[in-house]
Amino acid sequence: MSAALPSKLTDAPQNGLPRYELRTANHGPDNLELEVWQLPSPATPHIKTPLRIAGLAGRNLALVEHRVLRRLAKAGIQVSPAKGERGKHTLNEDLALNLGILFRVLAPMRSRANMRQVTEGIEAMGKEEAAYWLGMAMHRKYPRRVLMALRFLLIDPRSE
């Protein structure tokens, strides 16, 4: 006799990797909001409830939205919720780490030229480098200092 497994166990991924999710919300024309969340999984036993990694909306997202949507499309994710709707999409670890650090770094920025340089630098990062910077930004006592250091490294001072 075989007993049925609880749905909680059958829904869990069997690969032992962290799980990430992209949550989208459309608040109106040209007002998209994107958030990266880490979900509980066997690989991350310390996470009991979904943890918000980063989010971006408004003007700062509008400046890089075409790049982000292109990367999501390459991963097979089509983000097009109607006004007032919310969406959830599963992200692979590489894309989640890269988008997480991108959203955290860009959120307080104002200079379009600097935002472009930072975006290009983060897009060029490998998985390990993005994970390093995101971990530093999430788990340090003063995360804004870490994010500022990353901005300094990615912005070319000769461009100003």
**Across-strand partners of 25?**
33, 86
pLDDT-derived band at 160 (thresholds 50, 70, 90) equals low
Q: What is the pLDDT of residues 94-129, one digit of tens each?
A: 999 999 999 999 999 999 999 999 999 999 999 999
What are the structural domain ranges in the chain? 17-155
Across 79-103, b (16+ Cβ under 10 Å) vs e yields: beeeeeeebebebebebbbbbbbbb
Q: Contact, 35 vs 54, CB < 8 A?
A: yes
Q: How far apart are alpha carbons 129 and 136 in whole angstroms?
A: 11
How many CB atoms within 10 Å of residue 132? 14
Mean pLDDT score across all residues of the chain: 86
Q: What is the pLDDT of residues 38-61, one digit of tens each?
A: 999 998 889 999 999 999 998 999
Mean pLDDT computed over 11-38: 82
Q: Contact, 34 vs 61, CB < 8 A?
A: yes
Characterize the bridge pairing of strands 86-91 and 51-57: unpaired
In the chain, alpha helices (H): 7-11, 58-74, 93-106, 112-123, 127-139, 143-154
**SS3 helix, strand, coil % of the chain, rounded to 5?**
50, 20, 35
Question: Position of tokens 């530093």?
Answer: 136
